[in-house]
Each structure stands twice: as structure tokens, then as C-alpha cells.
Chain A
């Protein structure tokens, strides 16, 4: 708590500054693409949101494992706090993708592997959040959601490759990667990275805030229970 007291405002402010810079730069200061026109600028929202959607599930997997192995309460609460942010990011990625898809592919939605995988990820998030909401006892809920997260991760990954087998895609492959050569111009790349950093910090700030809220709620219910006993 004491550490997050210091970190939280910094990450929140930095997130705000970087998101505004990245998005403003991306939307107003980059040139139009020669083929896609101004619609290309939605990547500054779409790509960070999509990346966060996947990474948040990964973070939930790690915190679930930490809870199952080390029984660290904050870890379970952090996973709980992260899930609604993750599902929101998934929705943002789906919607911005649909808005971009209409002028570019001529359709809002196609059963493309990447799009379908995101739909599947969305359903996995839904089940996870619903399970948290359904169980009253905190430790039971943490245990069961953690094990669901583990099994879910395996099957989400399997589904991701199953849909590749099932249908050919419209979506382009990865443009940003560490090992391949540069496939995206610097004019787009710099604001995209700033925006990515902004989204990451934004997530960190939100997750810290939400976990602190969960911890306080937990302490409050403990206090109330103690009052009742006394």
C-alpha cells in the first residue's frame, strides 16, 4: 500500500500525458497513408488496446499462479481487479477494428481467425468475471477463478490455433515485431509506441487503484465482522 501510494499518481499522470501525446500525435500530426487515407490512424487506439487485452490475460495467469502457489492475497485481488479492464480493452479492440474494417474490407465483421480469437477471448473474460461475481467466500472465489484461468488459458490458446485451421484470414500479420525488419514507417511508429506506453501505464494505474479499493473493501468487511463479534 505504501509503495503504491507513491507509484500511483506518477503512473496515472504519465499515462495521461503519454496517451494524450500518442493519440494527438497519431491522429493529427501523422500523414495520411497513401492507400488507406486517414482511416489508418485508428491503429493508435486499436493496436494498444488489442495488445493490452492479451497481456492482461497473461498478467491474470501469472497472478493466479502466484495465488495458487504462494497464497498471496494481493495477487488474487490484482487478478480480480484486472479482468474488467481486460474485457474493456477487448471490446475497444473489437469495436475500433470494426470501424476500420467497414471502409477497408467492406464489412464490419468477418469470421477471420484473429477477429474470432478476440471474440473467444471476450467470452473467456466473461466467464471469469461471472465466476468471481457468483461466489461469496473470497478465498474460494480466488481459488476457483485461478484454476479456471489456468485451464482457460490452455484452451484459449488452443482455440486461437484451432480457428487458424478453420478459416483463412483477412487480417494482416504482425507489423510490429522484434526480430523482423521494420514494416512500418517511423512517422507512424513513434506515436504508436508512445500510445502503447500510455496504455500500459494507464492499465498499471487502473489496476493499482482497483486493487487498493479491493484491499480496503476487504479490510472494511473484516472490521465490520469484528465489530459484530465484539
Chain B
């Protein structure tokens, strides 16, 4: 399992792709918001938590189709499926690798980008924490979508159509857990539900994703 995780991490870091790309995408999305809305810092501060969450979510979406696609094309996914590891564990490791190369860097970058959007000072820690806790849900749900669309020729667009609706609760509670802090109220409910969503998808989604993979490898 650890070997698989290491292999996926090495592939993501080396093969000139996913890792830097989603961070750059995140930066560009955040940079575009002032162009669209105007540079007024009071307005920007108000919408900053939502923008950061939506930007991170879209950046996460960008690298989803790489989770299984390359392994599916060169046949190593079938080798993995016949290995002694249960497919659920393989899926979980893949999702974990995706999170470590996408969710974690995004969470680290978010406070810096929050500075660009003049995020209120108390919220920096919370944007980092909420993304740290919330992005595992995004990665696991995304892995499920990737597992469903892996056999399709042009699965990319369909993948976003399938996955984005599943992201709605995570987005709501993630953005709320930051926004409530900027409004000076307690965010513990939103934050705890966000953590619950992550744990829930971490525990159950691998089974659904592994089932979809089995169907696609049939």
C-alpha cells in the first residue's frame, strides 16, 4: 500500500503535470476575481472565503481525470486490480495521493492568496484549516467520479458534471466555516460538519469507487 502511494506521488511530482498545474490554476482563478468584480477591497474581503473555496474546488477538479486514466491506458490498473490488495484499498491510496498532491498544496497556498483578496485577519488560519479538513472529501468524491468515467473516451466534461453536484455540501460548509469567522460568529457547527463530511466520504466512497472500477475493468 505504501509502495503504491509512493509510486503515485512520484508519478504526480515527476511527470510534468498535475502538481504545479492545479496550483497555477488556483492562482489564476483568484487573480481573475478582482478583474471581474473590481479592486474594491471591502467587496473583495466579503467574498474572499467563497472565492478561495470555489477556486480550490475547481483546481481540484482539474487533475481528477489523471487519477485512473493513465494507469487505465497502459494497463497497470488491471495489474493493480489483480494484485492481492483489495481494490478498495487501492482506490483509497489513489485518492490519498491525489489529496497530497492537490488538496494539501492548495490548503497551504490559500492563506497567501487570501492576502491578495484582503481576507480579514482572523480568517487566515480558518481558510487553511477548512481547506485542510475539507479537501479530502473533494479528493475522495472525485476519485469516485474518475472511477465511473475511466472507460469513456471523452470523460473529462462528464466527470465534472457528475462530480460537481456531489461537492455542494462540502462547498457550503467549507465556505461557511470561514465566512462565519469573518462575521464574528462561532463556526464550530459548520467546521465539525465539514470534518464529518470528509470522514464520511473517506470511509464509504472507496467502496462505491471500487465497485465502479470493477465494472469498468470487466
Interface, chain A (partner B; CB < 8 A): 120, 123-124, 126-127, 130-131, 134-135, 140, 143-144, 147-148, 150-152, 155-156, 158-159, 162-163, 165-166
Q: A127–B208 contact, CB under 8 A?
A: no
Q: Please, which residues of chain B bring their CB within 8 A of the CB of A166?
A: 172, 176
Q: B169–A143 contact, CB under 8 A?
A: no
Say yes or no: A134-B168 contact (C-beta < 8 A), given A140-B215, A147-B208: no
Bound Cα distance A224, B176 (Å):
56
Bound Cα distance A143, B208 (Å):
11
Q: How far is the CB of B69 from chain A (nearest CB, A)?
A: 15
Cβ-defined partner of A144 (8 Å) among B164, B189, B212: B212
Say yes or no: A144-B176 contact (C-beta < 8 A), given A150-B208, A151-B208: no
Q: How far is the CB of B27 from chain A (nearest CB, A)?
A: 27
Q: A140–B216 contact, CB under 8 A?
A: yes
Chain B interface SS verdict (over half): helix
Q: How far is the CB of B36 from chain A (nearest CB, A)?
A: 20
Bound Cα distance A108, B172 (Å):
23
Quick check: which of B10-18, B39-47, B82-90, B144-152 contacts chain A, the rest being far away? B144-152
Q: How far is the CB of B77 from chain A (nearest CB, A)?
A: 16
Q: Please, which residues of chain B bring their CB within 8 A of the CB of A134?
A: 149, 152, 155, 158
Q: B161–A162 contact, CB under 8 A?
A: no
Is the CB of B75 closer than 8 A to any CB of chain A?
no
Chain A interface SS verdict (over half): helix
Report B183-214 CB contacts with A as 1/0, cut-off 8 Å.
00000011001000100000001001001100
Is the CB of B54 closer than 8 A to any CB of chain A?
no
Q: Please, which residues of chain B bring their CB within 8 A of the CB of A155?
A: 141, 165-166, 168-169
Cβ-defined partner of A162 (8 Å) among B164, B168, B205: B168
Q: A158–B158 contact, CB under 8 A?
A: no
Q: B169–A158 contact, CB under 8 A?
A: yes
Bound Cα distance A163, B149 (Å):
28
Cβ-defined partner of A120 (8 Å) among B141, B165, B189: B165
Cβ-defined partner of B144 (8 Å) among A140, A151, A156, A162: A151
Q: Please, which residues of chain A bring their CB within 8 A of the CB of B158?
A: 127, 130-131, 134
Q: How far is the CB of A227 from chain B (nearest CB, A)?
A: 26
Q: Please, which residues of chain A bring their CB within 8 A of the CB of B164?
A: 123
Bound Cα distance A152, B172 (Å):
17
Is the CB of B173 closer than 8 A to any CB of chain A?
yes
Q: A162–B148 contact, CB under 8 A?
A: no
Q: Please, which residues of chain A bring their CB within 8 A of the CB of B212?
A: 143-144, 147
Q: Please, which residues of chain B bring their CB within 8 A of the CB of A162?
A: 168-169, 172-173
Bound Cα distance A162, B169 (Å):
6
Bound Cα distance A127, B161 (Å):
6
Bound Cα distance A134, B189 (Å):
39
Interface centre among A123, A162, A165, by most B CB within 10 Å?
A162
Bound Cα distance A144, B213 (Å):
9
Q: A144–B208 contact, CB under 8 A?
A: no
Bound Cα distance A87, B216 (Å):
27
Q: B151–A140 contact, CB under 8 A?
A: yes
Bound Cα distance A177, B212 (Å):
39
Q: Please, which residues of chain A bring their CB within 8 A of the CB of B193?
A: 165
Q: B168–A131 contact, CB under 8 A?
A: no
